[in-house]
């Protein structure tokens, strides 16, 4: 039966919802941060391992780092690892590596306190090109067996993501899953900062792990911190080091934020952009470290990632100091490609900084600069001349492969459609040769601001 008081109540609720929606309406270019209701109980740690993730080591052909989380009833852990087999016989051939475990307690504002143990293991003595299985846990509490393929010496491939940051569970999840569905055998995933929005909010970190799911446990990741990995007091997220296991080979005080990874073909370098921006001490320390690192580099290709762009895609934004301090080093040592985030739009090109502050072509500089965005929070894109291809209001992921004297690059939208493509051909005597292969898809530059 239809009741009058129900219709009045429904009308009131719908009206109130309309008023609230109208009053709080955001531009469609901005991510809606509250589309997913959080279940605190569902994100709490349990005795069963969760948030399992592989990270690259500084020697990625022979070592893998793995981290996971449990509740406080489980204070120890281990990894069982074996060469993959055609059947279940690998279960009789595994070796065990004991984890280093640390207690973690943290509370974000008025949300429930997180009380957990984080466990980490460095799996060594692995062989290039080999396929392994592993699981994490202890006693009778184990994860499933995960399978991972080690890289080889002749080729390196990766998927690069700009900022995930907002609505990670509901909106970024499709991007990482689409990337995995198209390129399931890449060597690693690279995240250019701002993985989440609030540096120390465990619910957001839980969303990030949920979005990637088993992908995090099967393809190693590296990540450089963005400004949203730092809190209001300038402190690195308390979850960063416990939940990740990144190289500690950078400058003192910047362990696991500024570091390098050595493949035979390519050196991958993470710079801590927030510390460059906020601290002259750490800025100069990273400059000296980078210069000394590149001076003795033997790898033919160099990939640098940092969160703040050397050349911005956002109107009225220009990181002059960053460019002044670091671009000369990139130019001097012929850095091949710089992968960045922060500006919530897409742009890429080769460019130079000149004295009058204008962005102009520089035939002597072969560095490719890329800014990208994988999450739903969007900014307008400028028409600065340094960009060969740009996009606004577009979630993307990028596939990069390097083999011998060629770097292949493709950018895909969240639908999986090819949006940008180029090749870099290595020239040992000068700048790389750029071959643009831009698809016919029109540039997505609506609401362009000059």
Q: Which CATH class is domain 40-149?
A: mainly beta
pLDDT of the residue at 352: 52
The percent of residues above 70 in pLDDT, for the chain, comes to 87
Dihedrals φ, ψ of 27, to 5°?
A: -60, 145
Confidence band of 353 (pLDDT split at 50, 70, 90): very low
pLDDT of the residue at 171: 98
Instruction: Render pLDDT for 117-141 as a digit per residue (tens, 0 to 9).
Output: 999 999 999 999 999 999 999 999 9
pLDDT of the residue at 43: 83
Dist. CA 81–CA 248, nearest whole Å: 24
Q: From start to end of 295-414, where are the E strands?
A: 301-305, 337-340, 346-349, 352-353, 359-360, 368-371, 389-391, 396-403, 406-413
CATH code assigned to 155-436 = 3.60.21.10
Question: The whole model's pTM is what?
Answer: 0.89
DSSP state of 172: I
Answer whether residue 325 shows pLDDT above 50: yes
Between strands 155-161 and 188-191, the pairing is parallel
The percent of residues above 90 in pLDDT, for the chain, comes to 85
Between strands 337-340 and 301-305, the pairing is parallel
Check if the beta carbon of residue 344 is closer than 8 Å to that of residue 382: no
Check if the beta carbon of residue 198 is closer than 8 Å to that of residue 208: no
Q: Chain-wide mean pLDDT for the chain?
A: 90
pLDDT of the residue at 362: 52
Answer whether residue 294 shows pLDDT above 60: yes
Instruction: Render pLDDT for 34-86 as a digit per residue (tens, 0 to 9).
Output: 444 566 776 899 999 999 999 999 999 999 999 999 999 999 999 999 999 99
Q: What are the structural domain ranges in the chain?
A: 40-149, 155-436
Confidence band of 21 (pLDDT split at 50, 70, 90): very low
């Amino acid at each position: 039966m239809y009741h009058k008081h129900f219709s009045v109540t429904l009308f009131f609720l719908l009206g109130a919802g309309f008023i609230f929606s109208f009053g709080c309406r955001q531009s469609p270019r901005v991510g809606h941060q509250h589309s997913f209701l959080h279940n605190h109980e569902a994100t709490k740690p349990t005795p069963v391992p969760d948030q399992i993730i592989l990270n690259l080591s500084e020697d990625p052909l022979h070592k893998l780092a793995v981290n996971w989380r449990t509740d406080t009833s489980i204070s120890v852990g281990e990894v069982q690892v074996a060469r993959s087999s055609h059947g279940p016989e690998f279960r009789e051939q595994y070796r065990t590596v004991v984890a280093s475990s640390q207690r973690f307690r943290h509370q974000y504002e008025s949300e429930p306190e997180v009380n957990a143990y984080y466990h980490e293991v460095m799996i060594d003595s692995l062989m290039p090109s080999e396929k392994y299985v592993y699981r994490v846990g202890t006693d009778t509490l184990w994860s499933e067996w995960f399978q991972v393929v080690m890289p080889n010496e002749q080729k390196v491939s990766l998927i690069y993501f700009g900022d995930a940051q907002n609505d990670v569970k509901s909106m970024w999840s499709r991007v990482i899953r689409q990337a995995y569905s198209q390129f399931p055998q890449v060597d690693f995933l690279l995240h250019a900062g701002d993985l989440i929005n609030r540096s120390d909010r465990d619910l957001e970190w839980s969303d990030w792990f949920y979005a990637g799911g088993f992908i995090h446990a099967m393809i190693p990741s590296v990540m450089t911190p963005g400004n949203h990995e730092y809190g209001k007091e300038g402190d690195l997220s308390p979850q960063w080091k416990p939940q990740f296991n990144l190289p500690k080979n950078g400058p003192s005080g910047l362990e696991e934020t500024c570091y390098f990874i050595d493949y035979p073909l390519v050196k991958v370098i993470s710079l801590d952009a927030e510390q460059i921006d906020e601290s002259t001490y750490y800025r100069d320390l990273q400059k000296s470290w980078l210069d000394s690192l590149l001076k003795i580099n033997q790898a033919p290709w160099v990939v640098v990632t940092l969160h703040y762009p050397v050349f911005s895609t956002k109107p009225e934004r220009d990181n002059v100091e960053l460019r002044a301090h670091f671009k000369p080093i990139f130019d001097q040592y012929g850095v091949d490609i710089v992968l960045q985030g922060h500006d919530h739009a897409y742009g890429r090109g080769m460019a130079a900084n000149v004295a009058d502050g204008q962005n102009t072509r520089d035939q002597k500089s072969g560095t490719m600069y890329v800014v990208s965005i994988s999450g739903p929070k969007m900014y307008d894109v400028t028409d600065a001349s340094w960009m060969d291809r740009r996009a606004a209001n577009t979630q993307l992921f990028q596939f990069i492969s390097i083999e011998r004297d060629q770097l292949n690059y493709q950018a895909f939208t969240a639908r999986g459609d090819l949006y940008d493509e180029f090749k870099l051909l290595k020239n040992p005597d000068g700048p790389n040769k750029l071959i643009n292969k831009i698809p016919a898809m029109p540039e997505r530059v609506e609401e362009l601001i000059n």
